[in-house]
């Protein structure tokens, strides 16, 4: 590869930027406390959620083989605080189950009928699967669906007023502490200054790597609850992206634990993530 060399005469260029289209919307102002309070109120307003959705998965790698299997499926999402979530996806037309997964916040269960496979394990992914969509965890959706406010007892938050040529945003940087008390970037919350709506949430691990990049569009009011019409979740480390179009939503309806009871059907291979061989589930008598 060649090396690019720039002279000092090339370092500065001036060009006229033509403004096209409608004039920009007036920018709204807010402080850190107001933005944090907005997130807190929306978080506390939702105890349960039931939603009918369209799911559009994408693979962030050269392999495209999995997309044909899960392309544009109809889905159902159930959520109950503090951390229960279930996602059921159905194939188009025939409406057979594409996958069914549930999590209690610490562990998950995933049924893949097309592979006659039932996966269980911890939400944390120790060894990613080469089949990218098997790295999908219900908790990934929950962390994006229900945006937590900064926790003043364990986190610190600072505000950045960020502007480029086309966008103006407030960014709330949320800092956590590791076991040694050192600060690290945990999340970034992006607010569009034209509306003060949340448009993006970035989640980082302790090493500073971006693990979730969630984008929100079409915020709508459902009674006293604000909720987006579209959520796009990108998981760069797991190499997949999932778009969720909300078609119908219901909030704060009674929801028992039986809604989150997912057991392996008789004869399905059961595998704990991290173990090599899958074992068939016992058949009923």
Question: What pLDDT is attached to residue 95?
Answer: 76
Q: Any idea what DSSP says for residue 16?
A: P
Q: Under 8 Å CB-to-CB from 228, ≥6 apart: which residues?
A: 216, 217, 218, 219, 220, 246
Query: How would DSSP label each residue in 17-39?
Result: PPP-SSPPPPPP---HHHHHHHH
Nearest Cα neighbor of 119 from 106, 135, 142 is 135
Q: Under 8 Å CB-to-CB from 29, ≥6 apart: which residues?
A: 193
Query: Which segments of 198-247 does DSSP mark as H helices, in order?
Result: none
Question: What pLDDT is attached to residue 275?
Answer: 53
Question: What pLDDT is attached to residue 72?
Answer: 73
Nearest Cα neighbor of 273 from 70, 94, 105, 136 is 136
Question: What pLDDT is attached to residue 12?
Answer: 44
Quick count: other Cβ atoms within 10 Å of Cβ 169? 18
For 32-146+154-259, the fitting CATH number among 3.40.50.12780, 2.50.20.10, 1.10.540.10, 3.30.1360.120 is 2.50.20.10
Please report which confidence band the pLDDT of residue 280 belongs to, taking 50, 70 and 90 as the band edges: low
52-77 pLDDT per residue, tens: 999 988 876 655 555 445 567 899 99
Q: Is the peptide bond before 29 cis (omega within 30 degrees of 0)?
A: no
Residue 90 has pLDDT above 90, yes or no: yes
Question: What pLDDT is attached to residue 137?
Answer: 80
Question: What pLDDT is attached to residue 4?
Answer: 42
What is the average pLDDT value for the chain, to the nearest integer?
A: 85
121-160 pLDDT per residue, tens: 888 766 666 666 667 788 888 999 999 999 999 999 999 9
% of residues, the chain, pLDDT over 70: 79
Residue 116, SS3 per DSSP: coil
Bridge-based pairing state of the strands 210-217 and 230-235: antiparallel
Question: What pLDDT is attached to residue 274?
Answer: 62
* 49, 56, 188, 226, 254 from 41: Cα distances, Å: 16, 29, 18, 10, 21
Question: What pLDDT is attached to residue 179?
Answer: 85
Nearest Cα neighbor of 145 from 43, 70, 252 is 43
Q: What is the mean pLDDT of residues 38-51?
A: 98
**CA 124/CA 267 separation, integer angstroms:** 27
**CA 80/CA 87 separation, integer angstroms:** 12
Q: Under 8 Å CB-to-CB from 45, ≥6 apart: which residues?
A: 224, 225, 226, 251
Q: Under 8 Å CB-to-CB from 116, ≥6 apart: which residues?
A: 267, 268, 269
Query: Which segments of 146-284 does DSSP mark as H helices, in order?
Result: none
Question: What pLDDT is attached to residue 122?
Answer: 87
Contact 132, 65 (CB under 8 A): no
% of residues, the chain, pLDDT over 90: 60
* 3, 14, 16, 36, 83 from 9: Cα distances, Å: 18, 12, 19, 46, 58
Please report which confidence band the pLDDT of residue 240 belongs to, taking 50, 70 and 90 as the band edges: confident
Residue 14 has pLDDT above 60, yes or no: no
Question: What pLDDT is attached to residue 57?
Answer: 83
Please report which confidence band the pLDDT of residue 273 belongs to, taking 50, 70 and 90 as the band edges: confident
Q: What is the mean pLDDT of residues 223-245?
A: 92
Nearest Cα neighbor of 123 from 274, 269, 259, 264 is 274
Q: What is the mean pLDDT of residues 105-120?
A: 93
Please report which confidence band the pLDDT of residue 7 belongs to, taking 50, 70 and 90 as the band edges: very low
């Amino acid at each position: 590869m060649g090396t690019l060399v720039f002279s000092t005469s090339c370092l500065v260029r001036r060009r006229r930027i033509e403004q096209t289209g409608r004039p920009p919307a007036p920018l709204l102002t807010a402080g850190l406390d107001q933005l944090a309070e907005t997130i807190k109120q929306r978080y506390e307003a939702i105890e349960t959620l039931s939603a009918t959705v369209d799911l559009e998965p994408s693979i962030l790698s050269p392999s495209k083989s999995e997309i044909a299997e899960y392309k544009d499926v109809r889905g159902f999402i159930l959520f109950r605080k503090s951390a229960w979530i279930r996602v059921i996806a159905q194939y188009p037309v025939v409406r057979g189950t594409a996958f069914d997964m549930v999590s209690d916040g610490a562990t998950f269960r995933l049924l893949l009928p097309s592979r006659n496979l039932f996966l269980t394990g911890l939400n944390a992914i120790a060894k990613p699967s080469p089949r990218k969509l098997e790295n999908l965890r219900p908790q990934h959706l929950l962390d994006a669906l229900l945006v937590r406010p900064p926790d003043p007892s364990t986190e610190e938050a600072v505000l950045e007023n960020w502007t480029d040529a086309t966008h103006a945003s407030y960014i709330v940087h949320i800092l956590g502490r590791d076991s040694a008390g050192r600060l690290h970037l945990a999340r970034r919350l992006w607010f569009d200054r034209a509306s003060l709506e949340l448009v993006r949430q970035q989640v980082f691990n302790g090493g500073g790597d971006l693990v979730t990049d969630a984008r929100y569009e079409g915020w709508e009011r459902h009674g006293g609850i604000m909720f987006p019409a579209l959520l796009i979740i990108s998981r760069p480390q797991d190499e997949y992206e999932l778009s969720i179009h909300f078609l119908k939503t219901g909030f704060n309806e009674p929801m028992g634990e039986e809604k989150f009871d997912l057991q392996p059907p008789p004869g399905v291979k059961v595998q704990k993530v991290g173990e090599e061989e899958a074992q068939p589930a016992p058949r009923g008598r």
